[in-house]
């Protein structure tokens, strides 16, 4: 009778330990997933910020290009030269082309930066999901193990 009671107590303790460990491991998996999702949201904000910074830099290039063109027109006018023909027109066109090239480079850099952030974020989130899945599987295995220990006791 005492041996049976001890056996039942041991089995109950084994099941209870398995259930507690299952709960803790499951909570770790859920926490890891929540943190990965929060990090993903933060990374998306960083990617959008990279695009916004690129847009701001482009606006600065455009502003500077307009200032340069205005200076070229004023300089030509001060010398009595038409700025819409001949070599002055060619100089203005070259300045515009340089500004456009700068804009394209800035836009490309911002897009590449954002893509890099998003790609790394995707990899990190995928890894976090795999770890969480493994933790859930381990939690189930622990729960089953506790049950098997109780059955064999």
pLDDT of residue 77: 92
Instruction: Look over the chain and give the mean of its residue pLDDT values, rounded to a whole number.
Output: 85
> Do residues 121 and 40 make contact, with C-beta atoms less than 8 angstroms apart?
yes
Q: Read off the pLDDT of residues 99-137 as tens digits, 9 standing for 90 and up.
A: 999 999 999 999 999 999 999 999 988 888 888 888 778
Q: What percent of the chain has pLDDT over 90?
A: 50
pLDDT of residue 146: 60
């Amino acid at each position: 009778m005492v041996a049976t009671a001890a056996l039942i107590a041991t089995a109950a303790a084994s099941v209870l330990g398995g259930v507690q460990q299952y709960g803790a491991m499951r909570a770790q998996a859920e926490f890891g997933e929540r943190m990965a999702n929060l990090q993903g949201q933060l990374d998306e904000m960083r990617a959008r910020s990279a695009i916004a910074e690129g847009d701001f830099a482009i606006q600065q290039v455009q502003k500077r290009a307009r200032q340069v063109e205005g200076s070229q027109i004023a300089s030509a006018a001060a010398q009595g030269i038409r700025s819409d023909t001949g070599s002055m027109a060619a100089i203005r066109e070259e300045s515009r082309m340089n500004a456009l090239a700068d804009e394209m480079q800035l836009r490309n850099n911002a897009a590449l930066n954002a893509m890099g952030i998003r790609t790394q974020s995707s990899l990190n989130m995928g890894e976090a999901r795999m770890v969480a899945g493994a933790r859930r599987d381990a939690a189930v295995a622990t729960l089953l193990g506790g049950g098997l220990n109780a059955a064999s006791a």
